[in-house]
Amino acid sequence: MTSIRVLGVRVDAVDPDSALARIEELVAGGGHHLVATVNPEFIMRARSDPAFQAVLDSAGLCLPDGWGVIWAARRQGRPLPGRVPGVDLIPPLAARAARLGWRLFLLGAAPGVAEAAAERLRADYPGLVITGCHAGEAGPEGDEESLRRIAAAGADIVLVAYGAPRQELWIARNLARLPAAVGIGVGGAFDFLSGRVRRAPGWMRRLGLEWLFRLAVQPWRARRMAVLPRFALEVLRTRA
Ligand code: UDP
């Protein structure tokens, strides 16, 4: 697997198929691995937060999420095969899990949301085993309770929805104590799967405008998105 650096932050050159193949390798190979979906907000955060940067460097897989990452890579002369947003990876991941018998555990999001997402996934992928759901707490105060529940339920893959960087920090902090081989930070994916939050229509996604739709639906994102112009400027300033 080839990795590139965008403003110093690791991104792996994978497409959806090779990303799934890599996850299969991580599950089969044993050990414990983080899978992160790296978008421009992650990159800006990692640049000012060495702990987060180190967590991404230690990951088993850093997926290229967001058009900004694809654009930056192209500008650097190291084009990536394409985007692999975490939310788009979940359906094929669930299909593979159903086929190969991987058990999933859904951690995070508001109370009840993971359960609704699980219901949807079970309906769409007959045979899929979701061993449990728990909203829990993103911070260390919730770790013992969450770990206890995951250990009791069992899991091969834990999907963690606390938003970045909390979900990646949760996984890094608790990885060694998980029964699962893989922990994936999935952001708002349970909100979409459960139908609580509407996803941008296909045409907007194809035009790379999903961020605009999310901003319109959830205006509080404006503060987080304020780093995006700086991301673009720093990429433009970097020589290819
Ligand atoms: N969340 C949570 N606990 C927290 C903070 C966030 O459960 O302390 C959940 C929130 O409900 C949402 C997800 O984490 O389901 C973060 O989604 P967001 O849309 O911010 O992530 P993105 O997709 O933008 O990375």
The pLDDT tens digits for 200-236 are: 999 999 898 998 999 999 999 999 889 999 999 999 9
Task: For residue 112, report the distance from its CA to the centre of ligand 1, in Å.
Answer: 14
Which atom of ligand 1 is closest in space to residue 108's alpha carbon? 7
Residue 134, both tokens? 């728990």
Mutate to test the pocket of ligand 1, among 87, 162, 212 (most ligand atoms within 8 A of CB): 162
pTM to 2 decimal places: 0.96
For the chain, domain boundaries = 8-14+24-194
Is the distance from the beta carbon of residue 38 to the nearest atom of ligand 1 less than 6 Å? no
Task: For residue 108, report the distance from its CA to the centre of ligand 1, in Å.
Answer: 8
Which atom of ligand 1 is closest in space to residue 224's alpha carbon? 24
Is the distance from the beta carbon of residue 108 to the nearest atom of ligand 1 less than 6 Å? yes
Smallest CA separation from ligand 1 atom 3, residue: 162
Smallest CA separation from ligand 1 atom 14, residue: 162
Task: For residue 117, report the distance from its CA to the centre of ligand 1, in Å.
Answer: 14
Given the candidates 1.20.120, 3.30.70, 3.30.530, 3.40.50, the CATH classification of the domain at 8-14+24-194 is 3.40.50
Task: For residue 137, report the distance from its CA to the centre of ligand 1, in Å.
Answer: 11
pLDDT tens, N- to C-terminus, the chain (240 residues):
899 999 999 999 999 999 999 999 999 998 999 999 999 999 999 999 999 999 999 999 999 998 999 999 999 999 999 999 999 999 999 999 999 999 999 999 999 999 999 999 999 999 999 999 999 999 999 999 999 999 999 999 999 999 999 999 999 999 999 999 999 999 999 999 999 999 999 999 989 899 899 999 999 999 988 999 999 999 999 876
